[in-house]
Amino acid sequence: MPSSSTSIISKCTIYPDQKSTLKPLHLSVSDLPMLSCHYIQKGVLLSSPPQPFQDLIDSLKLSLSTTLSLFPALAGRFSTDSAGHVHIVCNDAGVDFIHANAKHLTLATLLSPPANFPDVHPSFKEFFAYDMTISYSGHHLPLAAVQVTELADGVFVGITANHAVTDGTSFWHFFNTFAAVTKAAGSGAKKKIASYPDFTRDTVFNSAVVLPVPAGGPTVTFAADDPLRERVFHFSREDIQRLKKQANSNRHNNDGWKTAGVNGNGNCNGNGMVAAVNVRNNDEISSFQSLSAQLWRSVTRARKLDASKTSTFRMAVNCRHRLEPKMDPFYFGNAIQSIPTVATVGDIVSNEVGFCAELLHRNVIAHDDSTVRRGIEDWEKAPRLFPLGNFDGAMITMGSSPRFPMYDNDFGWGKPLAIRSGKANKFDGKISAFPGREGNGSVDLEVVLAPETMAGLENDMEFMQYVTSFE
């Protein structure tokens, strides 16, 4: 399907409506590795607004200015001091606001792909600013941008944000606040902010260690121009519960306790495996762990890899509630770590889904306060950029979360029709999890794979039996 042409109507800089009083924010152990990642690109597809479109644009500009005063870090810029420490200078330099036109596109065109091309419509990639921009560029570029694209019968609001400034939790907190402020302004009411961002920098993630940056700045660690296919698979709560029951009924058993072979953040012993962790048998495998396990199993099978090859499933986890004492749930910045789980291809495809589900379950359960702190200490001993990609052809990386309140972005005329992303940080094996629009435990998986692997997944009936619908 050929990509359409989205035209830019106007572009301007939006500044916070109040001056920031925040001191420079030191990038943390969780922020710094993201300097080599693309800016985050996520957005919401909405029906047509009730007011004239120019009125909407004017309203969004005003509410964005108000929202930036609550999130001044996003209106700042990076600065590296003489010692090599990177900071966010909250200097109110502002963010880009772009009004774009794609009125030749309808909601039906975007959401109902033809049978002979069922992938995500390529035009969604045109609805975001800063394509393929590295987060290190925040030294000279704005740390965020909003693009509002007018459609024939709808609108797309896409936000691009620097990944070294925000993780998914903070990104959607900003997005939700922006929508809520807009909705309140439209009704003539003053929005009461339910939760303010916490800019504290005295957490365990704060470190004096300097990250060595290559001359000329970092680059992404994956080939951004590889041929890829992208689809969104929808799973209802009922189908996920059916899969969860299956995973728990055939999980791998060992006496009264189970021993995990791998754990997060590269905390490995001499043979590349992580110190074992004991987990009680009666800990139930979760719905999302079950869904992730089935995806891991089916993608691995579709890749037709040698049975002796090792496959890695990486899952990003929020550490705010895993630490003791817990961090503020609205801490603004990155507070994430990556949990790698490994198994041989032979074990993945020959065992039932409970085998993979059990491995994932053990590692998630084991990722507690001490594991988070150990991961931080390991990074401080060898500071490095985050290695994002599929380096051996057998990796899967799960990002985002069905727990993020994506469909809470009601700008005043109803919740979104769909969530979509841009080109950023996509490679063979990159998966993003979104909540289903109907809620109630439903999940959408945005799956990015090599074309031949996607074809294999589409023909994997063990996987497709759980898919309610797909785009």
CA nearest to 360, candidates 299, 291, 306:
291
Q: How much is the pLDDT for 345? A: 98
Cα 412 from Cα 136, distance rounded (Å): 35
Confidence band, pLDDT 50/70/90 cuts, at residue 190? confident
CA 450 vs. chain centroid, Å, equals 20
Q: How much is the pLDDT for 470? A: 58
Same fold, 5-185 and 227-401+424-463: yes
Cα 30 from Cα 126, distance rounded (Å): 29
Mean pLDDT confidence for 338-342: 97
Proportion of the chain above pLDDT 90, given as a percent: 87
Cα 313 from Cα 356, distance rounded (Å): 10
Superfamily of domain 5-185 in CATH is Chloramphenicol acetyltransferase-like domain (3.30.559.10)
Q: How much is the pLDDT for 1? A: 44
Confidence band, pLDDT 50/70/90 cuts, at residue 275? very low
Model confidence over 383-425: pLDDT tens digits? 999 999 999 999 999 999 999 999 999 999 999 999 999 999 9
Strands 144-151, 154-161: pairing is antiparallel
Which residues have a Cβ under 8 Å from the Cβ of 53 and sit 6 or more positions away? 150, 155
Mean pLDDT confidence for 323-350: 98
Which residues have a Cβ under 8 Å from the Cβ of 305 and sit 6 or more positions away? 311, 345, 393, 394
Q: How much is the pLDDT for 338? A: 96
Confidence band, pLDDT 50/70/90 cuts, at residue 224? confident
pLDDT at 278 over 80: no
| Contact assessment for residue 359 and residue 249, using Cβ atoms and an 8 Å cutoff | no
| Contact assessment for residue 267 and residue 279, using Cβ atoms and an 8 Å cutoff | no
- Give, in degrees to the nearest 5, the angle at Cα 298 between 297 and 300: 65
Model confidence over 96-136: pLDDT tens digits? 999 999 999 999 999 988 777 889 999 999 999 999 999 99
Mean pLDDT confidence for 312-338: 98
Confidence band, pLDDT 50/70/90 cuts, at residue 269? very low
Q: How much is the pLDDT for 113? A: 80
Mean pLDDT confidence for 156-162: 98
Mean pLDDT confidence for 9-35: 98
pLDDT at 257 over 70: no
Of 39-48, 108-117, 277-286, the least confident: 277-286
Architecture of domain 227-401+424-463: 2-Layer Sandwich (3.30)
Q: DSSP letter at 24?
A: P
Cα 453 from Cα 292, distance rounded (Å): 17
What are the structural domain ranges in the chain? 5-185, 227-401+424-463
Cα–Cα distances (Å) from 133 to 7, 37, 357, 390, in that order, read 20, 8, 35, 19
Cα 374 from Cα 381, distance rounded (Å): 11
Mean predicted lDDT score pLDDT of the chain? 92
Model confidence over 238-254: pLDDT tens digits? 999 999 999 999 886 53
Residue matched to tokens 């770590």: 337
Of 3-7, 69-73, 363-367, 455-459, the least confident: 3-7
Which residues have a Cβ under 8 Å from the Cβ of 231 and sit 6 or more positions away? 118, 119, 120, 446, 447, 454, 470, 471
| Contact assessment for residue 246 and residue 353, using Cβ atoms and an 8 Å cutoff | yes
pLDDT at 4 over 70: no
CA nearest to 386, candidates 434, 329, 314, 320:
314
- Buried-exposed string 252-265: b where 16+ CB fall within 10 A, e elsewhere: eeeeeebebebbbb
Q: Hey, is 313 helix, strand or coil?
A: strand
